[in-house]
C-alpha cells in the first residue's frame, strides 16, 4: 500500500485548499473533484434503500461523507491518518469517524448497505485490491453496493494511448507520476468483482478517473 498514514498527516492541514485549487484546474487526478463526488452519490441510487447505513473508506477530511450526512443518513467514515480523522471530526461532529482502511475495516459482518470511496483505492496493490473486495463483501448486507471513484484506466492499451497523446511536457510529467501509485484497470476489476458475486458497471468520468458500482445481488 502506498502513502502511509504519516504522509497524509503532513498533507491534512492543506488538503481541502489543495483540492479546491485542483478542482478548477486540469489536474490529472482532482480536476472536477466535486462533480466526481456528486457522481458517487448518484451511483448509490439512495432511493432504492430505506435509511441505508453508509461507510466511506479513505474518507480523508470528510468531503464525500458529508454529502450523505446532509441527507440525514447514518454514515461511518474511516481513514488511517490521525490528522485527517481529527480534521474530519472537527468539520462534522455528527459523523462517526474511526481508524481504518480497505484492509482493516472496524465493522461487523453484514452491517452496511452502501460502501463509498473516492481517490483512495489506488493506494492498494493489485493483490490488496482483491483482498479488500472480500473484506467489503463481508460487511455488506445482501443487496448492498460498493461505489468507488478513483484513478483508473480501462486497460493497459488505453492507458498507453492516453499517454502518447500528451504533448504538454508538464502534463506528461504528471501523468508519469501516476505510475508511482497503483491505478486499477477497469476491465481487471470487473473480473475481480464478478468472481466475488457482484453485478458490476461503471464509466470514465475524466481522462484518468473512473467510477464503478458493484452490487451484491440485485437492486
Residue 70 exposure: Cα atoms within 13 Å on the Cβ side: 9
Domains and CATH numbers, the chain: 5-216 (3.40.50.150)
Q: 3-class DSSP state for residue 14?
A: helix
pLDDT digits (tens, 9 = 90+) for 38-80: 999 999 999 999 999 999 999 999 999 999 999 999 999 999 9
Over the chain (219 residues), what is each successive 10-residue block's mean pLDDT? 66 78 72 91 97 97 97 97 95 97 97 97 95 98 97 90 75 72 93 96 93 87
Which contacts (CB < 8 Å, 24+ apart) does range 20-23 have?
A: none
CA dist., res. 120 & res. 139, Å (int): 19
Q: Which of 28, 29, 54 is nearest to 43 (CA)?
A: 54
Grid coordinates representing 104?
482493516
Contact 69, 75 (CB under 8 A): yes
pTM: 0.91
Please name the residue that has the C-alpha cell 483512495. Answer: 120
Supply the pLDDT for residue 22: 74
Supply the pLDDT for residue 144: 98
pLDDT digits (tens, 9 = 90+) for 87-105: 999 999 999 999 999 999 9
Amino acid at each position: 500500500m502506498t502513502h502511509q498514514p504519516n504522509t497524509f498527516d503532513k498533507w491534512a492541514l492543506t488538503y481541502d485548499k489543495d483540492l479546491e485549487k485542483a478542482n478548477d484546474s486540469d489536474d490529472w487526478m482532482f480536476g472536477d473533484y466535486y462533480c466526481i463526488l456528486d457522481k458517487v452519490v448518484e451511483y448509490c441510487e439512495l432511493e432504492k434503500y430505506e435509511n441505508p447505513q453508509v461507510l466511506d473508506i479513505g474518507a480523508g477530511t470528510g468531503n464525500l461523507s458529508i454529502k450523505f450526512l446532509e441527507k440525514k443518513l447514518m454514515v461511518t467514515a474511516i481513514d488511517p491518518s490521525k490528522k485527517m480523522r481529527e480534521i474530519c471530526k472537527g468539520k462534522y461532529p455528527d459523523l462517526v469517524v474511526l481508524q481504518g482502511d480497505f484492509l482493516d475495516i472496524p465493522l461487523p459482518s453484514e452491517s452496511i448497505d452502501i460502501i463509498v470511496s473516492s481517490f483512495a483505492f489506488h493506494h492498494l496493490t493489485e493483490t490488496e485490491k482483491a483482498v479488500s473486495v472480500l473484506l467489503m463483501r463481508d460487511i455488506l448486507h445482501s443487496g448492498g453496493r460498493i461505489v468507488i471513484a478513483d484513478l483508473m484506466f480501462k486497460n493497459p492499451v488505453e492507458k498507453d494511448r492516453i499517454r502518447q497523446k500528451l504533448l504538454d511536457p508538464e502534463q506528461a510529467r504528471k501523468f508519469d507520476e501516476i505510475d508511482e501509485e497503483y491505478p486499477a484497470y477497469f476491465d481487471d476489476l470487473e473480473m475481480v468483482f464478478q468472481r466475488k458475486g457482484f453485478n458490476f458497471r461503471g464509466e470514465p468520468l475524466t481522462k484518468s478517473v473512473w467510477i464503478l458500482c458493484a452490487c451484491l445481488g440485485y437492486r
